[in-house]
Amino acid sequence: MTDATLRPRRSVLYMPGANARALEKAKGIDADALVLDLEDAVAPDAKAEARERVCAAVRSGEYGHRELMIRVNGLGTQWHDDDIAAVAAAGPDGVVVPKVDSADDVRRLVGSLEAAGAPEHTSLWAMIETPTAVLHAEEIATAHERLTVLVMGTNDLVNELQALHVPGRAPMLVPLSVALLAARAAGKVILDGVYNDVRDAEGFAVEARQGRELGFDGKTLIHPSQVEPANVAFAPSESDVEHARTVIAAFTEARAKGLGVVTVDGRLVENLHVRDAERVLALHETITSR
């Protein structure tokens, strides 16, 4: 398990880069990561000012434990090159890039970051938000070690599929699962997409739980009210932690006695269950030690 995959990313909150008040407020929000946005949340005539404000926020060192990301404008847009140059100089934890459709896109982005002098700690997060990206998810995930996270852009995917936003997300289950398979095969982190109705706390909780059950590491968010529910949904519960400790203790004791079969609460325990228990405890300890 690498540092990149162990770091909690239960709650990843988009913050508009053009809004100075929002960037100041973000310093007190208990999100695992903040994505300071230069793309969708910023009007064309405010791009340059937002870029300066976001890079200054990153350099301030005032965001505590929060992982600081900058979402740039996509490849081929008139703002992309200037965004990359500014991000490289500011040195955030990472850069989020929309509409990454291929391994060539990943390699081009990495090349641009390196040419601009981005520090080694600045990772690449690729947004999977087109049918093409889903179909190429494995090659995107394995294109370069600097890419550490896949981010599902579910709003754009629904739009491009000509599907509908419905409870249960039936139209999205195949794309979500394909991208998840690619991330796990490549050993990368993957984040679920946003939930659009900030007034529907119950609906958000249901979708966050679904994302956790599918296997996602966390969820991207559009409002601070969604942070705490996401932190709860994607963190091990007290019972999860207790069970993990029990599994490891039982397995260790049985092996010491030379027993070939281990059971906990009547269920067979194998090496894979021990690995999962170790992952649960590692995540729990990382969260609670901050």
Tens place of pLDDT for every residue, the chain, 290 residues? Answer: 455 667 899 999 999 999 999 999 999 999 999 999 999 889 999 999 999 999 999 999 999 999 999 999 999 999 999 999 999 999 999 999 999 999 999 999 999 999 999 999 999 999 999 999 999 999 999 999 999 999 999 999 999 999 999 999 999 999 999 999 999 999 999 999 999 999 999 999 999 999 999 999 999 999 999 999 999 999 999 999 999 999 999 888 888 888 777 888 888 888 889 999 999 999 999 898 87
**Cβ-based neighbours of 68, under 8 Å, separated by 6 or more:** 33, 34, 36, 57, 58, 92, 93
Question: How far is the C-alpha of 123 from the C-alpha of 126, rounded, in Å?
Answer: 10
Alpha carbon 1 to its chain centroid, in Å, reads: 16
Question: How far is the C-alpha of 97 from the C-alpha of 9, rounded, in Å?
Answer: 17
DSSP assignment, residue 161?
A: H
For 208, other C-beta atoms within 10 Å of its C-beta total: 25
**Cβ-based neighbours of 235, under 8 Å, separated by 6 or more:** 8, 10, 283, 284, 287
Instruction: Give residue-wise pLDDT tens across range 156-211.
Output: 999 999 999 999 999 999 999 999 999 999 999 999 999 999 999 999 999 999 99
Instruction: Give residue-wise pLDDT tens across range 98-122.
Output: 999 999 999 999 999 999 999 999 9
Contact indicator for 22, 47 with CB cutoff of 8 Å: no
Question: How far is the C-alpha of 174 from the C-alpha of 54, rounded, in Å?
Answer: 35
Amino acid at 205: A
Question: How far is the C-alpha of 48 from the C-alpha of 106, rounded, in Å?
Answer: 24
Contact indicator for 6, 32 with CB cutoff of 8 Å: no
Question: How far is the C-alpha of 151 from the C-alpha of 276, rounded, in Å?
Answer: 23
SS3 92: coil
Q: Is 275 exposed, middle or buried, given 0-12, 13-18 or 19+ CB atoms closer than 10 A?
A: exposed
Question: How far is the C-alpha of 194 from the C-alpha of 246, rounded, in Å?
Answer: 35
